[in-house]
Structure 1
Amino acid sequence: MEPLFSHSPRSEPDRAARGEAPPARVYRLELPVPRDVVYRAFVGDVHLWWPADLTRFGEGTHVFIEDGVVGEEGVNGETVVWAEVRHEEAGADIVFSWSEGAPAGSPTTVTVALEDASGHAAGGTVVTVTQAGSASGPGSDAQLDRSGDWRAILGRFAAFFGQLPAAVEELAGGGA
């Protein structure tokens, strides 16, 4: 049954039954640090802040973003690729085709956008992470859940800069 009003939210089972993809998940974090520093930390220091419990190999793993991929190397040297970098503009944004946890051939798109924040004398940065484009139909929400808990990931990134993980806002979607 369709909602009575066109602006009424549709229930998840109805959306999945119609074969629709889940809505994009959007998270926002404001940091009191200049964009270039935030960008370098996100890309170059990812191994220092990425949550070990959100890796395949666990503690001691080395998460990396280099040579056009996002991946992880375990302590035994085994490597797994989580995503391909589709677009990167240093200090502005990076877009991944995220396949870790996704069924073959249906990656999600993760966009990390950096913008100058107003109100910071030293130059602050707003980090916005959008995850969208999962497979449609039953199981699509589970795919988003498996392919990244961006609230927790950004929470660790916030802590890397001395901010509370609670500083991460969920702007849209059904966050994990």
Structure 2
Amino acid sequence: MDSLFSHRDAGSTDREPGTKPGPLTAEVTVPRTRDESFAGFTDGIHLWWPVDQTRFGDGTHPEFTSGELFEEDAAGNSASWATVAGETSGGELELRWHYLGNPNLSSRVVVTFTAGRGSTQVSLVHDGWTDGELGHEQRAAAPNWAAVMASYRRFMGGAS
């Protein structure tokens, strides 16, 4: 007689074929204008991005340049993280986030800057994963956005 309980095969996953993982989100409020918040996020990224969220570690320099976000280490090695897909006058930044540096396997990161009274709410959504297991791998390889955004908030003078 078959068992009354089903047991998962050791090699199987709980994921349905063709499914996409859910989005990753993070949100912080910083005590700056929308334009200052956007500039701090883009122009100052090398000052606040957590080193443990980089490929090369200590001595690395993340930077937006020529429509690309990349990291360069002290020896001149570089890694492309994302391409800028669009921005709207400091209100939104959209990136195509490269899985393992491959622009052909990109997901989407949208950072929205919403002005408030004496502050700006900065919301990040990372989605647009590939279908199936590859999409789950993309999501697992994504930065720890909560830690990244917490570092950005501290840099911009927000509460810890």
When the two structures are superposed, what TM-score results if normalisation uses the length of structure 2? 0.84
Post-superposition offset of 1:138: 2.2
Please give the residue correspondences for 1:6-155 in structure 2 after superposition, counting only pairs within 5 Å: 13=14, 16-101=15-100, 105-117=104-116, 120=117, 123-155=118-150
Contact kept? 1:47, 1:64, Cα under 8 Å = yes
Q: Provide closer, same or farther for how the CA distance between residues 21 and 102 of structure 1 changes in structure 2, counting only shifts above 3 A.
A: farther
Q: CA deviation at 1:137?
A: 1.3
Query: Mind listing any 5+ residue stretches in structure 2 that lack a counterpart?
Result: 1-12
Q: Distance in 1 between matches of 2:103 and 2:60?
A: 24
Cα shift at 1:22: 0.8
Equivalents in 1 of 2:101, 2:75: separation in Å? 25
1: CA distance between counterparts of 2:80 and 2:103?
A: 13
Q: How well do the aligned residues superpose, as a CA RMSD in angstroms?
A: 1.8
Q: 1:90 & 1:48 partners in 2: Cα distance?
A: 22
Equivalent position amino acid for 2:153 in 1: A
Any conservation in 1 of the 2:30–2:157 contact (CA below 8 Å)? Answer: no
2:152 to 130, 151, 157: 157
Q: What TM-score results when the alignment is normalised by the length of structure 1?
A: 0.77
Measure, in 2, the Cα distance between the counterparts of 1:53 and 1:66. Answer: 22
Name the larger-Rg structure.
Answer: 2
In the alignment, residue 126 of structure 1 is paired with which amino acid? Q
Instruction: Name the CA shift for 1:32/1:92 in 2 (closer, same or farther; >3 Å).
Output: same
- Which stretch shows the higher mean deviation, 45-54 or 146-155? 146-155
CA distance in 2, matches of 1:56, 1:26: 21
Report the alpha carbon displacement of residue 18 of structure 1 after superposing the two structures with TM: 3.1
- Matching residue's letter, 1:128: S
